[in-house]
Structure 1
């Protein structure tokens, strides 16, 4: 049985451990004695890492327990360098100086279910949290962060159903699955039923689309078997339905829901121009201040881009 992924694949644990050794040794070479622990978080830390064609996909989430603060820019640069060295999309590095002082969030709740890959086992010092107390704003934050999954790896001309190659197909389905799972988590937070494990989250859902997303993410369904066009559209509809169920007063949910509808569901889709429009109009709408001003900006968007 694998320590890092659900499928029992030959050589996968060895590959992950080689990658982690590169990450661990590089961190210690740079920061030395200031690092008391290194923690593998996220999917790989829970034993539910994402794989594609038998190798780790997307990212490793790493938290450093440090005696001193480390600038985010410095960690981002190191993460980018490490990702290139080991051949993965991202190595996300974060730092915590005292786990006992962490406030309740999805991150701090999930940290308890992670793996210490260097140093002291500080996870026992984490406060005892109740998932029912997680703020609904955590769900809104997750939905906002995962909007990009519908844009980032979606090929230009996709909605015109131009042929896409096998690699594009796999990457697109995996990325959309991340968005569906984010919406599922946001839904569970709203219902006060959040759990860290993807397998446990899946058991709490019954919709076939959501279950498929978890199975793709966990490596139980090959993304190439999923119809990318139908999956993309159905996933957006589910994602928006979760946004619609959130209280209107939750942080910027209505704003981002409207941006998503106005940009992503408008054909023809083109990644670069859509991302430019997101930035341009999101800034304009946010700067407008009042709800009346935001509504006016959205109406102007619809007029210009109809």
Structure 2
């Protein structure tokens, strides 16, 4: 039976993959055979249930991201090694594009597998006709640079994705990546710290990766893998926009990604490590945005910035922004006033305010106004409203 959100326990028994071979590209940085087999088993099982759900509509299933590049992380659970990173999968459909009902079914299937496996499973539906027309985003750039693998279907399917180069990707994508990582930090700040060390470490390292990646994209040195990007940053260490602290943080993030369960901060104090890293990320993020957009390099002033942060992303252009803002207001995801344009413009400001200065009254008040919550709102209320805004502005 195909797993659904209502009955994830009814998922089919895991498929049995062939043992890893020396000539087969691996999924992980560590290359442990047990972990490789666990990930192959997960992907085979997800593919089987996706095929059961969609039937002949399914042309193939593509794996995108870290595991496709062979640099995914693994952790030990109950004495066995298994996945740590998300499974980002593209379900390629024959014929027409996915309708609302089909998208909902795939979303429910992904949620069911998330509950079962303990890692996020995202299933993005695309029609065969969509593949050559995908937009030049960082997500699809990483796929074009080798971050894609065929899990099920014809081996030539991955070759139908557009051939993108870093030069085709707008620097607005840098701002979007930094915004998403700041959102992760903001959500971590709004959650109880006790027992939350793993999530804090994960979001902190992802933010460090983003700060290095945007600099490489901006100077034309972007590379396919984190290991190659680290090598580029090491070459640029003496540049003012990079520096030794960023290189060290990026190197630490690569070590964390390999075996997150074995990573420890200097001195073993996650809270102290996070406080220092968050201050560094704030500077790296805001300095980059000041260069890219002219925005202030201060969290509260950034939240009140009246200029546009995203000029080139198609869905944030002036003609599209008012309609998107009205939709967000209609669903309760964001207030209409103060009007700042597209919900992504609002999310970028809120994320910075709550990621880098969550305890400063002026910064928190700016976030409250942008989220449309009463002054003095609790962390739980801010967290709920921020998550709702992510659905419209992420």
TM over 0.5: yes
Q: Which residue of 2 aligns with 1:108?
A: 140
Task: State the alpha-carbon separation in 1 of the partners of residues 50 and 180 from structure 2.
Answer: 27
Q: How does 1:234-253 map to 2 (within 5 A)?
A: 234-248=280-294, 250-251=309-310
Deviation at 1:107, TM superposition (A): 2.3
TM-score (ref. length: structure 1): 0.77
8 Å Cα contact 1:169-1:224 kept in structure 2: no
Task: State the alpha-carbon separation in 2 of the partners of residues 52 and 85 from structure 1.
Answer: 16
Matched, 1:62 2:89: yes
Q: Which residue of 2 aligns with 1:129?
A: 164
Higher relative contact order (CA 8 A, sep 6+): 1
Task: State the alpha-carbon separation in 1 of the partners of residues 175 and 368 from structure 2.
Answer: 19
Question: Aligned pair in 2 of structure 1 residues 125, 257: CA closer, same or farther (>3 Å)?
Answer: closer
Question: Aligned pair in 2 of structure 1 residues 279, 126: CA closer, same or farther (>3 Å)?
Answer: farther
Q: Which residue of 1 aligns with 2:242?
A: none
Q: Which residue of 2 aligns with 1:117?
A: 151
Instruction: Provide, for residues 85-109 of structure 1, a one-character-per-residue CA deviation record: whole Å limited to 9, x for no partner.
Output: 2222x10111221322223222222
The structure with the largest alpha-carbon Rg is 2
Instruction: Provide, for residues 157-198 of structure 1, a one-character-per-residue CA deviation record: whole Å limited to 9, x for no partner.
Output: 65xxxxx44xx3233112211122122222222222222311
Deviation at 1:280, TM superposition (A): 4.9
Query: Any idea what SS the aligned residue of 2:124 has?
Result: strand
Task: State the alpha-carbon separation in 2 of the partners of residues 201 and 108 from structure 1.
Answer: 17
Task: State the alpha-carbon separation in 1 of the partners of residues 351 and 188 from structure 2.
Answer: 16
Q: Which residue of 1 aligns with 2:254?
A: 214
Q: Which residue of 2 aligns with 1:281?
A: 370
Matched, 1:95 2:128: no
Query: Any idea what SS the aligned residue of 1:224 has?
Result: coil
Q: How does 1:264-279 map to 2 (within 5 A)?
A: 264-266=355-357, 268=359, 278=367
Greater Cα shift, 56-65 or 260-269: 260-269
Matched, 1:36 2:59: yes
Matched, 1:231 2:277: yes
Task: State the alpha-carbon separation in 1 of the partners of residues 252 and 225 from structure 2.
Answer: 16
Task: State the alpha-carbon separation in 1 of the partners of residues 60 and 214 from structure 2.
Answer: 30
- Count of matched residue pairs: 272
8 Å Cα contact 1:7-1:220 kept in structure 2: no
Deviation at 1:6, TM superposition (A): 0.5
In the alignment, structure 1 segments of 5+ residues that lack a partner are 159-163, 285-306
Q: CA RMSD of the aligned region, Å? A: 3.1
Matched, 1:3 2:26: yes
Q: How does 1:154-173 map to 2 (within 5 A)?
A: 154=189, 156=191, 158=193, 164-165=194-195, 168-173=196-201
Matched, 1:262 2:262: no
Greater Cα shift, 58-67 or 184-193: 184-193
Task: State the alpha-carbon separation in 1 of the partners of residues 366 and 86 from structure 2.
Answer: 28
Greater Cα shift, 223-232 or 106-115: 223-232
Instruction: Provide, for residues 39-75 of structure 1, a one-character-per-residue CA deviation record: whole Å limited to 9, x for no partner.
Output: 1111111111133344312410001111132234333
Query: Any idea what SS the aligned residue of 1:95 has?
Result: strand
Q: Which of 125, 135, 143 pairs up with 2:178?
A: 143
Question: Aligned pair in 2 of structure 1 residues 258, 40: CA closer, same or farther (>3 Å)?
Answer: closer
Question: Aligned pair in 2 of structure 1 residues 239, 120: CA closer, same or farther (>3 Å)?
Answer: same
